[in-house]
Homo-oligomer: A and B are copies of this chain.
């Protein structure tokens, strides 16, 4: 077994440098990644998961993660909620499309309801909990976009028209609303 080794070069049929293997010329194209997730409500409470993995282990997040191949975004959002919280979701609609260009992420966040009351921590969660809105641990949220999604979901709940939100004005996911340092990765 040899060591992986890549150099930045521009392929003949391209106009940007890409990571190309020094041993076999394989082009490791990197593309923006899609995160799919949900703000999940059950009887007025909101489902959050305390992360068991880095980045931001121990902090609270909505169920979300990287979309896999050959699934729809809605299927991906349901899969993530099942993996992280054993939660069976009924997806209602698209709540928001966020982008975090610093880490080349696009996030598709849905509004959802629990189909059954069962929730339990999956392998990537230390614990899961349904919070009354007033009890959400805002000082212990994992990522800027978790703040955005919870605020936008509250606006939707208060009657905002069903037009998906995008990043709050001027925000690109590079700071936490309360000035805390951000983590290296998002969801």
Whether a CB of chain B sits under 8 angstroms from the CB of A67 is yes
A102 adjacent to B32 (CB under 8 Å): no
- Set of chain B residues within 8 Å of A161, measured between Cβ atoms: 161-163
Shortest C-beta distance, A71 to chain B (Å), equals 6
Q: Which of B3, B16, B31, B108 is close to A67, meaning CB atoms less than 8 Å apart?
A: B31
A32 adjacent to B67 (CB under 8 Å): yes
Whether a CB of chain B sits under 8 angstroms from the CB of A90 is no
- Using CB atoms, name the residue of chain B closest to A16: B68
Binds B, one of A19-27, A135-143, A147-155, A174-182: A19-27
Shortest C-beta distance, A93 to chain B (Å), equals 8
**Chain A interface residue count: which class?**
35 or more
A72 adjacent to B99 (CB under 8 Å): yes
Per the bound structure, the CA–CA distance linking A16 and B2 in Å amounts to 24
Given A163-B163, A164-B94, the answer on whether A70 and B23 have CB atoms closer than 8 Å is: no
* Binary CB contact string for chain A from 82 to 108 against chain B (1 if under 8 A, 0 otherwise): 000000000000100101011010101
* Residues 77 to 131 of chain A near chain B (Cβ within 8 Å): 94, 97, 99, 101-102, 104, 106, 108
B26 adjacent to A70 (CB under 8 Å): no
Per the bound structure, the CA–CA distance linking A73 and B34 in Å amounts to 11
Whether a CB of chain B sits under 8 angstroms from the CB of A169 is no
- Set of chain B residues within 8 Å of A67, measured between Cβ atoms: 31-32, 106
Whether a CB of chain B sits under 8 angstroms from the CB of A159 is no
Q: Which of B24, B70, B108 is close to A104, meaning CB atoms less than 8 Å apart?
A: B70
B34 adjacent to A32 (CB under 8 Å): yes
5 residue pairs, one from A and one from B, having the closest CB atoms: A4-B24, A4-B26, A69-B104, A72-B99, A32-B67
